[in-house]
Structure 1
C-alpha cells in the first residue's frame, strides 16, 4: 500500500521536486535475480531498501519474489525484451495481444511486483508503438516503470512521461566491468551524481564483486550525505521528470 500511495503522490505532483538543501537520494536495483538461491539470498541480505528485479524465466522467480516481499523489499519484474530471448521476451513485430499475454504470464511468475524494468531491450525499448501501449497497460495495472536505458534510442521513459505513468530512468550501471575496483568507481560516480542533481538510480547484478562492494559501501553512504531510498520514494522525489543526461528542462529527449 505504501508504494501505491507514493506513486499516486508522484502522479498528482506533476512537477519535479527538488531535494531539500543538503539532501541527496540514491536507489539501487539488482537485476537478473531468481537464477541462484545463494546469490538471491546474499542480495536480499544487503542493508537498506535495495530493489529486487526478478526475471520470470528463472527457477526461483516466484519463491524469491515471495521471500523478498516478506522481507519488506520492493520487488519488480525484470521483463525480457529484444535482444533477450525466451517465452516471455518481447520482440519487434509481435502483435500487441501476444505482448499482453507474455506480460500477464511474466507477472504471474513474479508475485508482488510493484513495477517492471527491461532486461536487455535495446531494440524493443526503441519501438514507439509497443512502448506507448506498455505504459498505458502499466497505468491500468497501477504498476510503475524503470527504464534501464540499455540504449540511447529508448523511447520508453518518454512514453511513460507523456502518459503520466510513475517512472524513473537509470543513471549509472555499476558493473559493466566486473572488478571490485571498477564497481567501486561506478558507485562513487553515483554518489557524485546524486550530490549534483539530488538523486541517482543505480543498477547492478548479483555478481560476487558487485555484492562485495555494496556490502562494504552501503553502510557508508549516509556518512557521505547520501540517503538510500526505495524506488517508490525515488519516483516521488523525481516527480516523473527527466534528469539532465536524459533530456532538457525535465522533458525526455526521445519524445
Structure 2
C-alpha cells in the first residue's frame, strides 16, 4: 500500500516538480536468475539499476531476495510468446490459465515491484489479455514496463488506458554484443534523455554490457545525466508516451 500511495503521489505531482533541464536515465538488466556469477556482477553495478528476473531460472528466488536486500528495484521478467516454458503467455490461452501462470511467476520472484515482458512480440499485440494484465497489475499495486519488442505492442497503451503506472523502453543496449556497439547505444540513450528529458534503457547481463556499464555509469553525472530508479522514472513521465511512441503523450496503438 505504501508503494501504491507513493506511485499515486508521483503520478500527480512528479512531472510538475521536475527541475527544468534535467536529463534522467533508467537502466534495466533483463534475463537475470540464470547465472550466479552474472547476477552478482549485475548487482555490483553502481547506482539504482533495476533487476529483471526470469521466473524459470535456477536462481530466481534467491537472487530476488538478494537484490531486494541490497536495495535494488526487482521486477518480474515475464515470458511471453514467442517465449516458451511453464510461465509463458501465448495468444489464445484462457485468461484463467494466464492468471495461474502470472501467480506462479510472481511466487518465484519475491519482492517484484512490477513486471516487464520477456520477448512477447506476438503476445503484447493481443489487446484483450493486455487489458486484463494491466487491470490485474493495478489490483496488485504493481507497475508495468513495456519492453517494446514489437512496434505492434498495445501493452503500454492499455496500461495508459486503465491508469496503471508504467513506462516504455526507449533503447536496447546490446542487440549487438560488442563493447563498441553497446557504448554507442548508451550514448544514444544519453542523447535521447537530453532531448526528451528521460530515457529508459534495457540491457542483458552479457560480459560486454556489464563492462561498459561498470565503466560508464560513474561518468554519467559529469555529463549532466542523473541515473534514477524506475519508480522515480514513472513519476517523471507521469504515464505519458514519449514522442517515438505516440503523439501528445498518448500511445499511437490505441
The TM-score normalised by the length of structure 2 is 0.97
CA distance in 1, matches of 2:42, 2:4: 24
**For 1:18-54, what per-residue CA distance to the aligned partner results, in whole angstroms no more than 9, with x for missing partners?**
8422310000000000000000000000000000000
Q: Which residue matches 1:228? A: 227
Deviation at 1:107, TM superposition (A): 0.0
Determine if contact 1:10/1:240 at 8 Å carries over to the other structure: no
Sort the Cα spacing of 1:16 and 1:245 in 2 relative to 1 into closer, same or farther, 3 A. farther
**For 1:86-134, what per-residue CA distance to the aligned partner results, in whole angstroms no more than 9, with x for missing partners?**
0000000000000000000000000000000000000000000000000
Determine if contact 1:81/1:118 at 8 Å carries over to the other structure: yes
Determine if contact 1:6/1:233 at 8 Å carries over to the other structure: no
Q: Which residue matches 1:106? A: 105
Q: Secondary structure at the match of 1:46?
A: coil
Q: For structure 2, which runs of at least 5 residues remain unmatched after alignment?
A: none
Determine if contact 2:3/2:141 at 8 Å carries over to the other structure: no
The TM-score normalised by the length of structure 1 is 0.97
**For 1:130-168, what per-residue CA distance to the aligned partner results, in whole angstroms no more than 9, with x for missing partners?**
000000000000000000000000000000000000000
Q: Which residue matches 2:183? A: 184
Q: Which residue matches 1:7? A: 7
CA distance in 2, matches of 1:109, 1:101: 13
CA distance in 1, matches of 2:112, 2:60: 11
CA distance in 2, matches of 1:182, 1:226: 20
Q: Which residue matches 2:242? A: 243
CA distance in 1, matches of 2:253, 2:15: 19
CA distance in 1, matches of 2:145, 2:181: 24
Determine if contact 2:11/2:234 at 8 Å carries over to the other structure: no
CA distance in 1, matches of 2:137, 2:215: 36
CA distance in 1, matches of 2:8, 2:44: 29
Determine if contact 1:10/1:166 at 8 Å carries over to the other structure: no
Q: For structure 1, which runs of at least 5 residues remain unmatched after alignment?
A: none
Sort the Cα spacing of 1:140 and 1:117 in 2 relative to 1 into closer, same or farther, 3 A. same
4+ residue runs over 4 A deviation: 15-19
Q: Secondary structure at the match of 2:133?
A: helix
CA distance in 1, matches of 2:94, 2:144: 21
Give matches, 1:1-255, under 5 Å: 3-13=3-13, 17=16, 19-255=18-254
Cα RMSD for the two superposed structures:
1.3
Sort the Cα spacing of 1:3 and 1:47 in 2 relative to 1 into closer, same or farther, 3 A. farther
CA distance in 2, matches of 1:200, 1:8: 21
Sort the Cα spacing of 1:146 and 1:177 in 2 relative to 1 into closer, same or farther, 3 A. same
Q: Secondary structure at the match of 2:68?
A: helix
Deviation at 1:6, TM superposition (A): 3.3
**For 1:147-196, what per-residue CA distance to the aligned partner results, in whole angstroms no more than 9, with x for missing partners?**
00000000000000000000000000000000000000000000000000
Determine if contact 1:17/1:238 at 8 Å carries over to the other structure: no
